[in-house]
Amino acid sequence: MKTTACPLDCYDACAVVVDRESLKMTGKEGHPFTQGALCSHLYRHIKEVERIKVPRVDGKEVSMQEALEAAAHAIKDAGEDFLLYRGSGNVSFMQNITEHFVAAYGGWTTEGSLCDGAGQAGIEAGRGVSLVLPPEAIKEAEAVIVWGRNISVTDPHMMNLIKDKTLIVIDPVKTKIAREADLFLQIRPRSDFYLAVLLSRFMFMEDMEDKEFLKERCEDAEWYYDFLRTFRVRTSLEKCDISLDDLGDLLYQMQNKKCVFLVGAGVQKYSIGDQVLQAIDGLAAVIGAFGKPGCGVSFLGDSMAGFKNPINYSPKRVAKPIAPFGRFKTVLVQGANPLAQMPGLNKVEEEISRVENLIYFGLYENETTKKARIVIPACDFLEKEDLRLSYGHPYVQPMPKIKEAEFGISEYELTKYLFDALGCKGLEDEKWYIDYMLKQCIEDGDLLKSPAYEKYPYEDEFQTDSGNFEFLEEYEDDFDDEEEGLWLLTPKSPHSLNSQFRRETHIFINSELGFKDGEVVKVSSEHGEIELPVKVCDDVRADSVLIYAGTPSVNRLTPHIMSLMGKSACYQEVKVKVERV
């Protein structure tokens, strides 16, 4: 038996025990987060997808050596007009090593995110750094506010930690966890900022603020109260589509309780995403819910916080959500599927069609491999040495090589080849990078923890310039949310991970809109249109439609823009029309 970690892009980063003979995988008993269980992505879905087995150049199957030579030639031919575009379907540490090549070679890479960049920017503005909230802090909570996070899908192991607590769910969709909640507020999409501001204001009005925390640990709390009062109560309630009674119920459920907020990426898939997270953090600061047992705000933490990174990154970067592929002669796409997952897909297709040499390096066939000139299969997580950090918990897990690679090569092997072929200097042995990271970890019995680990994050100080929590200072929003149309919601689906595995193919619509199950409809936005069959679902509000992320072509509807801060994709900053075909 060998222990490794699940490589999939998921909060839980499970510890996995692998039988070396049968390769059967089970969740590691006793791991503080995994607790012996894995989800169906790892024990079933990952085995169902079509792996890339043979390298290709110009549509012909070739040897690995020929594919690597073609890739090196295409990169050399491009000179500095070379872009590395990496994805996040698999998130182990050594996947970053290709960045080291790009830095040494002098090419371009990306910055920002298709996922959590806006939220992270908001958190960093308030707290300085986005630390992971450890399970031990969550366990001690008395009330858990699950805000825009469908935890039974995105981090199923969290369910164990929040049993027997007051459960409040805030979401535009009636999720599975919403059905189990003591209080569920089905707010209007893109109104999370207003709810956070309203709640913060009422905490002051109802004398529920933590005066000592505000005085000792926050900057300009009095000014913040004045700022909160610039938002009219009635307007904010209307924006959220909730009543004063709903707000009262929420305050009542939180009153005198140690509160943990579990915030999902959906709340920040907008241009204002940073302000949403800073406002939710601001609410937590108003009630003193940082640095104490049973308190905190969990978002996608910065898994590299506290580490000195041995990998160099190119200073030449383009914003990931709006990457101008057409500017580059050669683009290396690594473990990503921009021709499905990037917002503003019509524009992305046009950009990528202008790339002379599109190189794909990854595990699975997808929309992007079909357009690639050079396709290089990657090996899977059992076939290489690696390291798993996590944005959902503080544990660091070595990932030893468990079997020989059948089809592909590792990120390190690709990097080593390119360093040698293109005469670059400065690459150490693979083990050196892994050891460099491991040496920085905190040992705790047989567990390793991130060097940034704090049982109660921000207990002593925030990592801002002042050392205190810093509130949002202004609110800026140009989007017209009164614009006609239905809100588009694009959450993660239970059966797919980004564009991997069993992708959904339907649009989910409230019965009030009058469509029938199976009926094909045209869905259009100012960015494009698609046709999809309907599933009637009253868990979705009647002013919204839901199309899961990963549904083929959904991104023809989404905008080719990025957030005001954090260079993040704004998948939900759009209204759509639905018509019978």
Which of 318/363 has CB closer to ligand SF4? 363
Which of 12/430 has CB closer to ligand SF4? 12
Q: Residue 95 and residue 410: Cα distance in Å, rounded?
A: 8
In angstroms, what is the minimal distance from the CB of 203 to ligand SF4?
A: 34
In angstroms, what is the minimal distance from the CB of 443 to ligand SF4?
A: 23
Which of 70/158 has CB closer to ligand SF4? 158
The one-letter amino acid code at 138 reads I
Please give, one letter per residue, the 3-state secondary structure of 137-159: HHHCCCEEEEECCCHHHHCCCHH
In angstroms, what is the minimal distance from the CB of 41 to ligand SF4?
A: 4
Give residues with Cβ within 8 angstroms of 570, minimum separation 6: 118, 269, 270, 271, 273, 321, 343, 558, 559, 561, 562, 563
Q: Residue 475 and residue 470: Cα distance in Å, rounded?
A: 14
In angstroms, what is the minimal distance from the CB of 390 to ligand SF4?
A: 9
In angstroms, what is the minimal distance from the CB of 38 to ligand SF4?
A: 4
The bridge status of strand 82-86 relative to strand 330-334 is parallel
Beta bridge partners, 168, equal 145, 183
How many Cβ atoms from other residues are within 10 Å of residue 305's Cβ? 20
In angstroms, what is the minimal distance from the CB of 42 to ligand SF4?
A: 4
Beta bridge partners, 396, equal 448
Q: Residue 579 and residue 388: Cα distance in Å, rounded?
A: 45
Residue 141 tokens read as 């909570």
Residue 564 tokens read as 């005001």
In angstroms, what is the minimal distance from the CB of 25 to ligand SF4?
A: 8
Which of 10/523 has CB closer to ligand SF4? 10
Which of 159/244 has CB closer to ligand SF4? 159
How many Cβ atoms from other residues are within 10 Å of residue 27's Cβ? 21
User: Would you state the torsion angle of the CA atoms of residues 122, 125, 128, 132, taken in this order, to the nearest 10 degrees?
Assistant: -10
Exposed/middle/buried for 406, CB within 10 Å: 0-12, 13-18, 19+? exposed
Distances (CA, A) of 56 to 358, 392, 537: 12, 37, 43
Which of 258/393 has CB closer to ligand SF4? 393
Q: Residue 15 and residue 190: Cα distance in Å, rounded?
A: 35
Contact 527, 73 (CB under 8 A): no
Contact 192, 280 (CB under 8 A): yes
Which of 158/509 has CB closer to ligand SF4? 158
How many Cβ atoms from other residues are within 10 Å of residue 60's Cβ? 9
Which of 38/565 has CB closer to ligand SF4? 38
In angstroms, what is the minimal distance from the CB of 496 to ligand SF4?
A: 11
Q: Residue 275 and residue 182: Cα distance in Å, rounded?
A: 28
Which of 40/255 has CB closer to ligand SF4? 40
Tell me which residues touch ligand SF4 (CB under 6 A). 6, 8, 10, 12-14, 38-39, 41-42, 156
Residue whose entry in the numeric block shows the structure tokens 């059905």: 179
In angstroms, what is the minimal distance from the CB of 405 to ligand SF4?
A: 21
Which of 494/552 has CB closer to ligand SF4? 494
In angstroms, what is the minimal distance from the CB of 195 to ligand SF4?
A: 28
Residue 368 tokens read as 């992007």
In angstroms, what is the minimal distance from the CB of 157 to ligand SF4?
A: 6
Q: Residue 426 and residue 404: Cα distance in Å, rounded?
A: 27
Which of 6/279 has CB closer to ligand SF4? 6
Q: Residue 581 and residue 572: Cα distance in Å, rounded?
A: 24
Which of 57/363 has CB closer to ligand SF4? 363
In angstroms, what is the minimal distance from the CB of 10 to ligand SF4?
A: 3
Please choose, from the candidates 496, 478, 484, 477, the residue with its C-alpha nearest in 3D space to the C-alpha of residue 524. 484
Task: With residue 167 as reference, give the H or E element that holds it.
Answer: strand 166-170
In angstroms, what is the minimal distance from the CB of 369 to ligand SF4?
A: 22
Beta bridge partners, 568, equal 113
Which of 27/148 has CB closer to ligand SF4? 27
In angstroms, what is the minimal distance from the CB of 5 to ligand SF4?
A: 8
Please choose, from the candidates 334, 315, 317, the residue with its C-alpha nearest in 3D space to the C-alpha of residue 414. 334
Contact 89, 366 (CB under 8 A): no
Which of 7/291 has CB closer to ligand SF4? 7
